[in-house]
Amino acid sequence: MDILKKLENYREEEEKLKWEGTFADYLDLLKEKPWVAQSAHSRVYNMIKDAGIEEVDGVKKYRFFSHQLFGLEEALEKLVEEYFHPAAKRLDVRKRVLLLMGPVSGGKSTLVTMLKRGLEAYTRSDKGAVYAIKGCPMHEDPLHLIPQHLRADFYDEYGIRIEGNLSPLNTLRLEEEYGGRIEDVLVERIFFSEDKRTGIGTFSPSDPKSQDIADLTGSIDFSTIAEFGSESDPRAYRFDGELNKANRGLMEFQEMLKCDEKFLWHLLSLTQEGNFKAGRFALISADELIVAHTNETEYRSFISNKKNEALHSRIIVMPVPYNLKVSEEEKIYEKMIRESDVADVHIAPHTLKVAAMFTILTRLREPKRADIDLLKKMRLYDGKTVEGYNSQDIKDLKNEYQDEGMFGIDPRYVINRISSTIIRKEIKSINALDVLRSLKDGLDQHPSITEELKEKYLNFISLARKEYDEIAKKEVQKAFVYSYEESAKTLLDNYLDNVEAYCNKVKLRDPLTGEEINPDEKLMRSIEEQIGISENAKKAFREEILIRISAYARKGKRFDYYSHDRLREAIQKKLFADLKDVVKITTSTKTPDEQQLKKINEVVARLIDEHGYNSTSANELLRYVGSLLNR
């Protein structure tokens, strides 16, 4: 379908969504769809909830955010459950400004943008439909037409609470245009749009000397005063400030704490009482979610100023820290690369993972526990299994520091360095070493990195490099072993047979001769030594393996290659140790013979077909691993 046809279909869909009727028609609609009368906070919460919620390891994951925000599940759960949910239930938190606080490039602006774009789409759905008094510049709630003395009766009949008073302009229009007949007032369905300034407003501070409060609350239209005779006539007023236009939806206060005080005063009554003052009118009711964002330094400076005390109690601060999971950080880079013009560049496997390791290390505090180092902490945070540690250890680690994730390298810096690597390298293929080199070079150009921090970050680059060395060796090891998984499983089964015989003090039967033989101690030790199991510890390790097998059997599960991390590591290392000489000779020979050349080509083909490399990155990996093995 071509684009013109799609545009035509879009217009048709938009036409189908439109609705217009009298207030009496609107009341009939309310009986059928009472959710239409929900508040702004309730609409935002239901929008998030309707997108779907799943629970992973006791933490709620909201699908609404899942395609754009990564690794912020705990922060988002706190935001939704401690702010949006109670605010939707009309609890007191809805009378607070939501302030997102976190480091630069941590996702605050993305989060607000998602709420805006989400509301635009949600108001086009049946569940998120919004209706307003037709012709009202503030898209006022039609229920404001119900007089105060009838609202209790209305609640009894419809089960809907009405908050707020009819605006000065609509009070006048009700008398002048409709002769006081509320049931005849025209109502229409509206669709939120930031571009059209409907239900979504954005305020950005500028020079306090030139910025006018009218940007927030609207202004007098002097050209109409002669026509209407007075500045207090609502028809002579432009209700076009950001607070007016954001009514029924969301108002974003960019850099709120940099605003002049007079701009913040309006937030006091708007948050607490649901109204604000404009021109020579009575208080104007507004139902909107006010969300602002700032960094920690500005926030500390703001709360230390005694003049801001009245606003302190009307703000709910939600920390939005950096992501602390390597796998989620990778997704951030993948997203940023997809959205750029370098999406066609081949990025070798593990490149973004290694960059993410460096980034996450810069955001972690050194553990207080002596038995856990930064690398173990990084793996545990990422949900990886680390032998001897469980979910309680992760909770304990997270409780050690409250500011973890509020400092460190931001994703934009890493993407800038990856971009620099791509531009500098003429071949359209980059690998982990290229990126680590670029990250290292960029530290000198980063304005906020002190010499002390630089030293620390260089150490993290070295740690990430060591991790990559192990990954690279394993990758080549897998590619060299024909039917790697089969070889590993065969060796595992052989080891387990011998361990079982050893622990049960029985003999094995030779499959060829049928005679009884002792367990193969040499084989068992050759595997156990790969992970540092001493002669004294071998019995305890073997018994622990047997207990694990029994536990699996009781649950009706089969103990396999993936059931024990340390044993799997030992099997891999044993296979690689047996192959090391072959790999070393094959990858480092300047002039390989025909047999070696055939082996190299087989390995390159397997790296391309099964591991996601291209021919350039596969050959670079082989050369690098060859150099590692020759050290």
Residue 394 pLDDT greater than 90, yes or no: no
The stretch 341-354 carries a mean pLDDT of 87
Domain boundary among 262, 285, 319: 319
Residues 6+ apart with CB under 8 A from 155: 161, 162
Within a 10 A sphere around the Cβ of 80, how many other Cβ atoms? 21
pLDDT category at 203 given cuts 50, 70, 90 is confident
Residue 605 located in a structural domain: no
pLDDT at 215: 81
pLDDT for residue 354 is more than 60: yes
159 in a structural domain: yes
Read off the pLDDT band of 484 (50, 70, 90): low
Same structural domain, 378 and 497: no
- The domain boundary, picked from 319, 352, 382, lies at 319
3 state DSSP class of 5: helix
Collapse the DSSP code of 525 into the 3-class scheme (helix H, G, I; strand E, B; otherwise coil) and give the result.
helix
Task: Inform me whether the pLDDT recorded for 309 exceeds 70.
Answer: yes
In a domain, 594, yes or no: no
pLDDT at 433: 93
Cβ contacts of 43 within 8 Å, gap of 6 or more: 119, 122, 128, 130, 249
pLDDT at site 208: 66
Query: What is the DSSP pairing of strand 200-203 with strand 97-101?
Result: unpaired
Residue 630 included in any domain: no
Amino acid 303: pLDDT: 83
End-to-end CA distance of the chain: give it in Å, rounded.
59
| Strands in 407-451 per DSSP E | 429-430
| Amino acid (one-letter) located at 257 | L
Q: Which residue has the higher pLDDT, 399 or 423?
A: 399
Residue 476 forms part of a structural domain: no
pLDDT digits (tens, 9 = 90+) for 100-110: 999 988 889 99
Do 567 and 532 reside in the same domain of the chain? Answer: yes
Alpha carbons within 13 A on the beta-carbon side of 53: 15
Q: Looking at the structure, tell me whether residues 453 and 491 fall in a common domain.
A: no
What's the rounded Cα separation, in Å, for the pair 246 and 174?
A: 23
Going by pLDDT thresholds of 50, 70 and 90, the confidence category of residue 326 is very high
Do residue 434 and residue 333 come from a single domain?
Answer: yes
Same domain, 330 and 315: no
Taking alpha carbons only, the member of 453, 457, 420, 425 closest to residue 438 is 420
32-36, 216-220, 305-309 — most confident range: 32-36
Mean pLDDT of 228-256: 85
User: Pairing relation of β-strands 516-517 and 508-509?
Assistant: antiparallel
Q: Report the pLDDT value the prediction gives residue 508, as an integer from 0 to 100.
A: 87
Pair (62, 197) in one structural domain: yes
CA-based radius of gyration for the chain? 33
Residues 533 and 386 in one domain: no
Instruction: Mark whether 419 and 523 lie in a shared domain.
Output: no
- The Cα-based distances of 467 to 149, 156, 328, 370, 433 in angstroms read 71, 66, 18, 21, 12
Q: Indicate the range of 126-130, 255-259, 500-504, 577-581 predicted with least confidence.
A: 577-581
CATH number, domain with residue 256: 3.40.50.300
pLDDT at 266: 74
Give me the percent of the chain exceeding a pLDDT of 90: 47
Looking at every residue in the chain, the average pLDDT score rounds to: 88
Tell me: do 209 and 336 sit in the same domain: no
Using CB atoms within 10 A of its CB, is residue 514 exposed (0-12), middle (13-18) or buried (19+)? exposed
- Distance of alpha carbon 61 from the chain centroid: 10
The pTM (predicted TM-score) of the whole model is 0.83
Q: What is the pLDDT of residue 210?
A: 66
Q: What is the pLDDT of residue 252?
A: 92
Q: Which residue has the higher pLDDT, 280 or 609?
A: 609
Q: Up-side HSE of residue 493: CA atoms within 13 Å toward CB?
A: 7
- C-alpha–C-alpha distance, residues 484 and 481, integer Å: 5
Whether the pLDDT of residue 466 is over 90: the answer is yes
In a domain, 290, yes or no: yes
**15 CB-near residues (< 8 Å, 6+ apart):** none
Mean of pLDDT values over 3-7: 89
Helix H segments across 66-161? 73-79, 85-88, 108-122, 151-158
Looking at residue 425, its pLDDT comes to: 67
The percent of residues in the chain predicted with pLDDT above 70, rounded, is 97
Q: Give whole-number Cα distances, 9 to 1, 6, 190, 437, 450, in Å.
A: 11, 5, 20, 50, 56
Domain stop point among 291, 319, 347: 319
Residues 379 and 494 in one domain: no
Query: Does the pLDDT at position 589 exceed 80?
Result: no
Question: What pLDDT is stored for residue 43 in this prediction?
Answer: 96
Is the CA virtual torsion 152, 153, 157, 163 positive or negative?
negative
pLDDT digits over 434-452, tens only? 999 999 998 887 777 888 8
> Does residue 483 have a pLDDT over 60?
no
User: Is residue 135 a part of any domain in this protein?
Assistant: yes
- 456 and 547 in one domain? no
Q: What is the pLDDT of residue 332?
A: 93
Neighbouring-strand partners of residue 508: 517
Look at 4-8, 222-226, 514-518, 537-541 and tell me which has the smallest mean pLDDT. 222-226
Number of domains into which the chain is organized? 3
Same domain for 150 and 90: yes
Question: Pairing mode, if any, of strands 237-238 and 250-253?
Answer: unpaired
pLDDT digits (tens, 9 = 90+) for 223-240: 777 777 777 788 888 888
Does residue 81 carry a pLDDT above 80?
yes
Q: Which position has the higher pLDDT, 531 or 261?
A: 531
* Most confident of the following: 189-203, 213-227, 269-283: 189-203
Confidence at residue 488, expressed as pLDDT on a 0 to 100 scale: 83
Which residues, other chains included, contact 585 with Cβ-Cβ below 8 Å and sequence gap of 6+? 596
pLDDT tens across 556-570, in order?
Answer: 888 888 888 889 888
Nearest CA among 443, 474, 434, 426 for reference residue 573: 474
Which domain covers residue 525, as residue numbers? 481-579
**Phi, psi at 607, each rounded to 5°:** -65, -35
Residue 15 inside a domain? The answer is no
What's the pLDDT tens digit per position in 151-185? Answer: 999 999 999 999 999 999 999 999 999 999 999 99
Mean pLDDT over 481-498 rounds to: 81
For 111-141, write each residue's pLDDT tens digit: 999 999 999 999 999 999 999 999 999 999 9
